[in-house]
A and B are shown apart, each in its own frame.
Chain A
């Protein structure tokens, strides 16, 4: 039992922001909610959190709506970041932690621990408005996690964080997940989703395009890509008209395969063209899946 979004529709004026969406998210998973801009991700999260009501359908966490769970069951980092600009960092975190159900003593001690962990000690008594954007974001991320909620919703949690802090956050999320925390986040940065998420879904125009275990999705699609690098004649592959060059990284070229391609023949030709540095029949990356699925759907 986890988070169950069943047949949910939400219409704003004449736009179907979310259209008969059904998604199951297992408790204890790290889940990536993906979709292009304006796909309905934020609207979906807001409905899950009971900030706005769906027109139809039902949303439950462990069998009942989130709003009927005790305070502090969930944590939320919205896409529109915002804090009270005049409040001081420590005071603000304690305030939000208490609203999430922590007692005063608990709120203070956990705030201290989190401030240290995120290296915000020197800003502890500064007003929010005096902080840089990145540090404000750290404060807000802490406020979503400080009460150790069962389920966390993070909207683009890594945008605005430098690599060091992005790493800190990643560790924190993985630790929380190890202790059973369910983490749902949306991101445009597919490599981060790929690194963290076991399960994903892609929505587009408010509809579900794809959902499931990321590895299974990839296997299902199959090894459709060839990664190839040769130290020698770079253009030998042009002999194979069925090969389609779709990308190029610093290390290798990326080809899309179709069923007519004889990969052994290509390997042979490559070894004749020069020293083969890289030859890999690869699963699609999430980025490739995203681009092709969203492209198909629109």
Chain B
């Protein structure tokens, strides 16, 4: 065990001071800071684009709509600088266009009526390609039209409000099958979406971490093989210890990196109130993240280590690792699918399979409250999977690390396992 400690510390310290590790850590910090400012930046950008001018001349020969247009302008655009609706003075469209040019207006909105008496709206403008203008005018037209039709039907303003208001849907989660309906806690849509976004972000980080650090393990083993240090190492320590040292050393490296990043995130969010209240990052979610990161990493790292032991040159690692990545990608996709319905049978089954469970179960746990039995079974199977992997990995490792030249075939790998 003393040797494992020395090995862990070597694998950790020799990597922690490399340029690539320091650079990725710093880049991560920068990305987090930038991301934290995204909501503010978005708001600012939006406000810039909203500034599209929509100063309209209403050209309505019948005069049926001018009153309504004035009402809409007064109701909805009081004090809004970039929107105005005024009636055109001239008698023809040409006059109206001339007036628009003279008064520097944005466009002329003409209104005609078809046989059924329904208004037809047309916007004449030099700036027809501006989608923002079009959608602003569309909104104005909708409001005018709504009021016009309400008038025709003899409805009051209150009636219109009544007809167009949307009720709020209250969603209550029932903890168990025989829960009394009153006991369910209300799921507030806003916080649910927030926790979904957070869970999705963390899921993505988990996915990246498994690939990143799994690769690092395979790479590390292959490097030891290609630099031929392996023979010395296995003459001094047990291959199993060598493998465990490498996995834990690199895992610690990953945990440290995430601790730095998460700390940065929390610091940035508390320093500046950017509309994302710190209280909404549930500590429970972070703890689940840590647990599934560690277990998922251990599960995959043991396979990655064995894979690294099967190749002789660092360049070959990528080929063999690609196969393993498919497992991680599958887990990610299923976890992503189970976001919409965390209790679907696909999600429940996938969250029990060790290959997929680190990501799928993490998604389920953060989004709903799966039965404790399911969590326990999932964790137990994952732990069992880690043990089986370690045993198999150590066997392959033991034989693979001193094998150079051609890669063994599957038949031979099975023979190692049997020996």
Contacts and interface: CB of A to CB of B under 8 A. Distances in A.
Contacts of A84: 10, 14, 224, 227, 229
A190 interface: no
B234 A51 contact: yes
A110 to B, nearest CB: 16
Interface in B181-231: 224, 227-231
A212 interface: no
Residues of B contacting A: mostly:
helix
Nearest to B399: A52
Interface stretch (A91-99, A158-166, A243-251): A91-99
B18 interface: yes
Given A84-B227, A85-B227, A86-B18, A95 B10 contact: yes
A255 interface: no
A193 B219 CA distance: 40
Nearest to A88: B14
A78 B232 contact: yes
B402 interface: yes
Residues of A contacting B: mostly:
loop
Nearest to A50: B235
Interface string A130-163: 0000000000100100000000000000000000
A185 interface: no
A56 B229 CA distance: 28
Interface residues of A, number: 23
B6 interface: yes
Interface in B225-279: 227-232, 234-237
Contacts of B229: 82-84
Contacts of A95: 6, 10
Contact of B236 (A46, A80, A100): A100
Interface of A: 46, 49, 51-52, 71, 74, 76, 78, 80-87, 95-96, 98-100, 140, 143
Given A80-B228, A82-B230, 14 more contacts: A51-B231, A76-B232, A76-B235, A78-B228, A82-B229, A83-B227, A86-B14, A86-B18, A96-B236, A98-B6, A99-B6, A99-B7, A99-B236, A140-B232
23 contacts: A51-B231, A51-B234, A71-B3, A71-B236, A74-B235, A76-B231, A76-B232, A78-B235, A82-B227, A82-B228, A82-B229, A83-B232, A84-B224, A84-B229, A85-B227, A86-B14, A87-B10, A87-B14, A98-B6, A99-B6, A99-B7, A140-B232, A143-B232
> What are the 7 tightest A-B residue pairs by CB atom distance, in nearest-first order?
A82-B228, A82-B229, A78-B231, A80-B228, A76-B235, A99-B236, A82-B227
